[in-house]
DNA sequence: AGAGTAGAGATTGTTCAACAATCCTGCAAG
DNA sequence: CTTGCAGGATTGTTGAACAATCTCTACTCT
């Protein structure tokens, strides 16, 4: 083993440690408060249109107003809250135009990631697709148990992991925000089962295409998949 | 003119007024402080790696520490600052991997916007390309005056306006962040002239293709354009 | 009765001062 | 040269206070 190989291994190890440290470090009060609020919003406890009172939440979350406002800012930037000057923060109410906008971006990013996999296929380490497989199986299991919210969550994770294959920190961040906003839209839907059910099988199909390295066909399927999904969401939205 | 048409016109007017009000309203102390800092960073007064002291800046900007920290958060989300817990905020130091990441996203987004113009060509109102023309001419004028930083700015605006043709609020926001980060990279470059000069003519070429509605060729040109630009930036970066 | 208005009350925007927690520096000991 | 330990400096968080703005009620006027 050459010296440079040793160095390389050490470099890689140092990076993983640094990542661990960063993960532990990120425990400021503001971020912890933001975590709790984020879950409340994405899980629907705080429905679109709801106002978040400052004094009320300072008591519940046991943080000062300043810290709470910092948490608000964090979530505002993720698109999970909107500020109305001198009136407070609200859970945003997205409409059909937002659906179109969000899906346009999803199509652009996800399809490009899949198509781009063809170029870097050789350098992709084995087991890279495992998270996707886990998500597919989680969705199937949740469907059997009639837990449709969990199906939606697994579906989200599938797409997040799909983007993750590109190894682009900025794509990951963008996708995180896009999917969080999408979750806001799901909460105004009356029938989550109809919305999520068709995509359990399609996710598996997509996964198998990727596993078989048929990237071009996977990209084409994904494109149609997202068009259909957008259409379904728009219809459910208009029928609310 | 039918009643619904009148209503539609009124709705549109109401939206523009609402937008104006929102623009005037958005003068919170935090955003004003963020504006000043943003300019300092993008213009290079605060170089990559620099730390921003809180007490120092509260005196200079004449805002309280809490408000300043809110401004920090705003800029953090734009990628112009990074927080290190218990150590402060810094101007990030981007490296080659960031160049690759940023350009990958630029290619995906910008090329897709141009290609997508073909579908919605009929609904594009006349004069929609005017901002692009202005930017092209601004860059040409700045080049004649040897003001290469201004050339870079005009170039940025050209691409921002290009994305704007898609009418996607989220694409606009993402592009704003991407270009802001790109500016950070420019500051470690010794010879801005070599970096920007080739793209003055290419921007004009792109504009003329768009004007001639040759969208497919414009998309292909833009793709190569961005590949070349990435390569040039990477070389300049390695030679620093 | 209904439209418009003034003002009280509540909420947000911002500042300040203080304390706790953490990091960096320099120095001494092994 | 490394390790451990003060001391000082900086950030993280809190609570209180006041100003600015919004909302709602009650009142006046037509």
Q: Is B239 on the interface with A (CB under 8 A)?
A: no
Place of tokens 């734009």: B78
The strand pair at A88-90 and A51-52 is best described as antiparallel
Element (H, E) at A89: strand A88-90
Across the range A133-147, mean pLDDT stands at 96
Handedness of CA A172, A177, A181, A184 (dihedral sign): positive
- pLDDT exceeds 50 at position B7: no
The strand C neighbours among A residues 87-106, by Cβ under 7 Å, are: 87-89
**Residue in A26, A69, A174 nearest the CB of B174:** A174
- pLDDT exceeds 90 at position A229: yes
- pLDDT exceeds 70 at position A9: no
Residue B206 burial (CB < 10 Å; 0-12/13-18/19+)?
buried
Contact B149, B192 (CB under 8 A): yes
Distance CA B212, CA B210 (A): 5
Phi and psi torsions of B88, nearest 5° = 115, -175
Q: Is A11 on the interface with B (CB under 8 A)?
A: no
Distance A87 CA to D21 C1' (A): 8
- pLDDT exceeds 50 at position B19: no
Return the SS3 of B90: strand
Across the range B84-90, mean pLDDT stands at 89
Beta-carbon contacts of residue B141 (< 8 Å; ≥ 6 apart) = none
Phi and psi torsions of B90, nearest 5° = -135, 155
Find the residue in A nearest to B178 (Cα). Answer: A170
Residue B14: CB atoms within 10 A of its CB come to 10
Q: What is the pLDDT of residues B152-181, one digit of tens each?
A: 999 999 999 999 999 999 999 999 999 999
Distance CA B187, CA B149 (A): 10
Distance CA B169, CA A101 (A): 8
Distance A159 CA to C23 C1' (A): 39
DSSP string, A18-81: HHHHHHHH---HHHHHHHHHHHHHHTTSS-TT-EE-HHHHHHHHT--HHHHHHHHHHHHHTTS-
Confidence of residue A25 (pLDDT cuts 50, 70, 90): low
Confidence of residue B26 (pLDDT cuts 50, 70, 90): very low
Residues 37-66 of B with CB under 8 A from A: 66
Question: Does any strand C atom come closer than 7 Å to the Cβ of A71?
Answer: no
Contact B136, B207 (CB under 8 A): yes
> Residue A86's Cα: distance from chain center in Å?
31
- pLDDT exceeds 90 at position A162: yes
Half-sphere exposure of A113 (CA within 13 A, CB side): 23
Q: Which two tokens stand for residue A80?
A: 């999970």
- Chain B hits for A73, CB-CB cut-off 8 Å, are 70, 73-74
| pTM, rounded to two decimals | 0.87
Distance CA B44, CA B35 (A): 14
Q: How many CB pairs under 8 A join A and B?
A: 50
Q: What is the pLDDT at residue A11?
A: 59
Question: Does any strand C atom come closer than 7 Å to the Cβ of B87?
Answer: yes
Q: What is the pLDDT at residue B14?
A: 42
Nucleotides of C under 7 A from a protein CB: 11-18, 21-24
* Residues B85, A28: C-beta atoms closer than 8 Å: yes
Across the range A173-195, mean pLDDT stands at 90
* Residues B108, A105: C-beta atoms closer than 8 Å: no
- pLDDT exceeds 50 at position B87: yes
Q: What is the pLDDT at residue A12?
A: 61
């Amino acid at each position: 083993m050459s010296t440079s190989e040793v160095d390389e291994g050490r470099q890689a190890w140092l990076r993983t440690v640094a990542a661990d440290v960063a993960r532990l470090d990120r425990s400021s009060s503001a971020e912890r408060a933001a975590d709790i609020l984020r879950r409340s919003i994405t899980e629907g406890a705080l429905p679109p249109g709801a106002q978040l009172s400052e004094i009320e939440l300072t008591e519940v979350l046991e943080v000062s107003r300043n810290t709470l406002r910092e948490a608000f800012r964090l979530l505002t930037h993720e698109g999970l809250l909107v500020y109305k000057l001198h009136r407070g923060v609200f859970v945003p109410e997205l409409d059909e135009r937002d659906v179109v906008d969000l899906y346009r971006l999803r199509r652009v990013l996800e399809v490009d990631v899949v198509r781009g996999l063809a170029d870097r296929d050789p350098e992709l380490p084995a087991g890279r697709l495992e998270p996707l497989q886990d998500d597919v199986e989680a969705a199937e299991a949740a469907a059997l148990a009639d837990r449709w919210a969990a199906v939606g969550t697994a579906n989200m994770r599938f797409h997040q992991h799909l983007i993750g294959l590109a190894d682009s920190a900025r794509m990951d961040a963008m996708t995180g925000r896009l999917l969080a906003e999408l979750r806001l839209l799901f909460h105004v839907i009356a029938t989550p089962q109809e919305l999520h059910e068709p995509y359990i099988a399609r996710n598996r199909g997509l996964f198998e295409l990727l596993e078989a390295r048929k990237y071009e066909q996977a990209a084409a399927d994904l494109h149609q998949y997202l068009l259909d999904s957008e259409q379904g969401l728009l219809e459910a939205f208009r029928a609310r």
